[in-house]
Amino acid sequence: MTTPVLEARDVTMRFGGLTAVRSVDFTVNAGEIVGLIGPNGAGKTTFFNCLTGLYVPTEGTVSYKGTVLPPKPHLVTQAGIARTFQNIRLFANMTVLENVLVGRHTRTKEGLWSALLRGPGFKKAERASEERAMELLEFIGLAHKRDHLARNLPYGEQRKLEIARALASEPGLLLLDEPTAGMNPQETRATEELVFAIRDKGIAVLLIEHDMRFVFNLCDRVAVLVQGEKLVEGTSEVVQADERVIAAYLGEPFEGDPGEAEAAEVEAAEAAAEATSTTSSTKGEAK
């Protein structure tokens, strides 16, 4: 295949003695939707921050379309990777339109002098930016709220706006950090549609998510991160069937897995204990 959109090689991130991410190799190919799942504290967001330059990885490199990315967030965005945040980080006191215009920052050039002199070039660029921003707002369905302050949008729309702002930088890869956190089922559905629509624009998508149905519906490939290490990677079916994944989420049975007979024994004992305790104590023990 051609060069992948994103290629993380041997990425390790240590905070002092704690290794949050350990030698993760990871690729996203053009036109793919890739999911990154894992239990809480598995290092997913840390890995994201390594990809986007917010953290400088202790070891390893991240390259975008074949070129190694410098660990500076604004250069990463300029290269073509845009992201959203787990806890929404909009510019709360700017309008919806202004938020998207800020996203246009890397794709426009007008500096201070051009702003002060206001030549024809400046006006043209501003108009073009605004048109592009309005297109994006139409795309996510917030065009009618262009003059509202971002902080006054309902939660779901704030998430959408964050995606629009990220799209404004014309990325080749969009990183979504828990895009459906806190959404109701309808909103989650709508986000699913939105992610597909973004993919159809030719933008690869990498997302962290806890909503498994959402992930397995959406993603061409899913990687599982557990305690900073990549456990499995593959299609939804492969990952869903993998025992280690289930173990990571639900916990592993301990050594000497209790057989069915033993389980029945325990149950019986519990029932007996309950019968005796109801007479003495006020309430039966909980499991």
Partner 1 sequence: MTETTKTPAPDAVPTPPAPRGLIPLPLAAARALLLAGGIATAASAFLAWTWTDEFPGDLTINGYPGGLQWLTFTAGVLTALFALAAYGIRGLGWLLPARNNAPLVLTALGGFAVTWFTVIAISVELGGVVNLEPGGWIAAIAALLPLIGAFALPQERTGDGTKEALKAYVAKPDRIPAPEASAPWVQRAVITVVTIIGLGVFTYGIDTEYGELFVGYLFVVAFAIWALHTAGLLDRFSAIVAGNRSFTLAMGFAAAIAFPFTQTDDHYANIGVNILIFGTVALGLNIVVGLAGLLDLGYVAFLGVGAYTAALVSGSEFSTLSGVQLPFWASALTGAAASLVFGVLIGAPTLRLRGDYLAIVTLGFGEIFRIAVNNMDGDSGPDVTNGPNGIANIPDLNLLGFNFGQAHDIGGFTLGRFANYYLLMVLIMAIVVLVYTRAADSRIGRSWIAIREDETAATAMGINGFRVKLIAFALGAALAGLAGTVSAHVTYSVVPTPYQFAGSTPPNSAFLLAAVVLGGMGTVAGPLLGAALLYLLPEKLVFLQEKSLLAFGIALILLMRFRPEGIIANRRRQLEFHETGQLDVPKQTTLTDEPAVTKAGA
Q: How far is the CB of 172 from partner 1 (least distance, A)?
A: 14
Q: How far is the CB of 29 from partner 1 (least distance, A)?
A: 23
Applying CB under 8 A, which part among 35-43, 100-108, 227-235, 247-255 lies near partner 1?
A: 100-108
The residue among 126 and 220 lying less far from partner 1, judged by its C-beta, is: 126
Which parts of 42-71 interact with partner 1 (CB under 8 A)?
52, 54
Contacts (Cβ under 8 Å, ≥6 apart) of 105: 169
Per CB under 8 A, 116 contacts partner 1: yes
Q: Count residues binding partner 1 (CB under 8 A).
A: 46
List 25, 41, 56, 92, residue binding partner 1 (CB under 8 A): 92
Applying CB under 8 A, which part among 38-46, 59-67, 91-99, 272-280 lies near partner 1?
A: 91-99
Q: How far is the CB of 36 from partner 1 (least distance, A)?
A: 18
Per CB under 8 A, 118 contacts partner 1: yes
The residue among 25 and 138 lying less far from partner 1, judged by its C-beta, is: 138
Per CB under 8 A, 74 contacts partner 1: yes
The two three-digit tokens of residue 91, written as one number: 């510019």
For binding to partner 1 (CB under 8 A), which residues are involved? 52, 54, 72-74, 77-78, 82-83, 85, 89-95, 98, 101-106, 108, 110-112, 114-116, 118, 122, 125-126, 129, 145, 147-149, 151-152, 154, 165-166, 169
